[in-house]
């Protein structure tokens, strides 16, 4: 993907073969395509290893803990965009505080992903976030939902919460995805 300084008007395709660092970078890079007003396509390819590497880069950096939390939230926002089941343009612009009707051009507008009713599961996730005073990250919330026995959960008393272990029928990746989608929907 192109970065700053590229002002070629007839770029038709922008391919990311791994995760950009954050939504701001992604927006900047895909903005290089279609500057002449003609249709253009952006493709983002990533896998779980990309997520693991990006998280490790944040965790292993010399940044202060607060900055690391900020970077993790920015990465979560990018992943929420990647996993969105609604118009990607709406999610992208929503990240920057803008609203827009569905674009009619993105993959989700043209061929929506199948969805399931996860209302009860989302409720359990949101109840867990609220019950923990909205102070814990995604990993801890998932650990509570799947009923992991960790020192952090025990010391905070979260093993006595009503949703502790309530989500053990689903694996951690399901819960992470659901939380990212709730984030993308501005429910969290």
Between CA 74 and CA 91 the distance in angstroms is 14
pLDDT averaged over the chain?
90
Q: Measured between alpha carbons, how far is 41 from 63 in angstroms, rounded to an integer?
A: 35
> Per-residue DSSP letters for 92-129?
HHHHTT------S-SHHHHSPPP----HHHHHHHHHHH
Contacts 24+ apart (CB under 8 A), 104-109: 105/39, 108/84
Taking the model in full, what pTM does it have?
Answer: 0.66
Read off the pLDDT of residues 97-147 as tens digits, 9 standing for 90 and up: 999 999 999 999 999 988 889 999 999 999 999 999 999 988 999 999 999
User: Does residue 47 have a pLDDT over 80?
Assistant: no
Q: What percent of the chain has pLDDT over 90?
A: 65
Mean pLDDT over residues 80-104, rounded?
Answer: 92
C-alpha 168/C-alpha 175 separation (Å) is 10
Q: What is the pLDDT of residue 2?
A: 56
Over the stretch 146-184, which tens digit does the pLDDT of each residue have? 999 999 999 999 999 999 999 999 999 899 889 877 875
Asked whether the beta carbons of 54 and 62 are under 8 A apart, the reply is: no
85: pLDDT strictly greater than 60: yes
């Amino acid at each position: 993907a192109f970065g700053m300084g590229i002002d070629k008007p007839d770029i038709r395709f922008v391919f990311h073969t791994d995760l950009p660092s954050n939504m701001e970078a992604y927006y900047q890079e895909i903005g290089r395509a279609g500057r002449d007003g003609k249709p253009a396509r952006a493709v983002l390819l990533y896998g779980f290893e990309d997520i693991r590497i990006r998280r490790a880069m944040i965790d292993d950096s010399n940044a202060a803990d607060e900055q690391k939390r900020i970077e993790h939230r920015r990465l979560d926002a990018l992943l929420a965009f990647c996993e969105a089941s609604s118009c990607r343009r709406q999610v992208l612009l929503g990240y920057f505080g803008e609203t827009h009707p569905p674009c009619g051009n993105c993959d989700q507008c043209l061929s929506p992903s199948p969805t399931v009713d996860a209302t009860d599961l989302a409720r359990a996730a949101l109840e867990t976030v609220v019950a923990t005073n909205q102070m814990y990250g995604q990993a801890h919330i998932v650990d509570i939902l799947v009923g992991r026995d960790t020192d952090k959960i025990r010391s905070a008393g979260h093993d006595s919460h009503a949703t502790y272990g309530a989500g053990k029928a689903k694996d951690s990746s399901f819960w992470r995805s659901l939380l990212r989608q709730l984030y993308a929907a501005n429910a969290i």
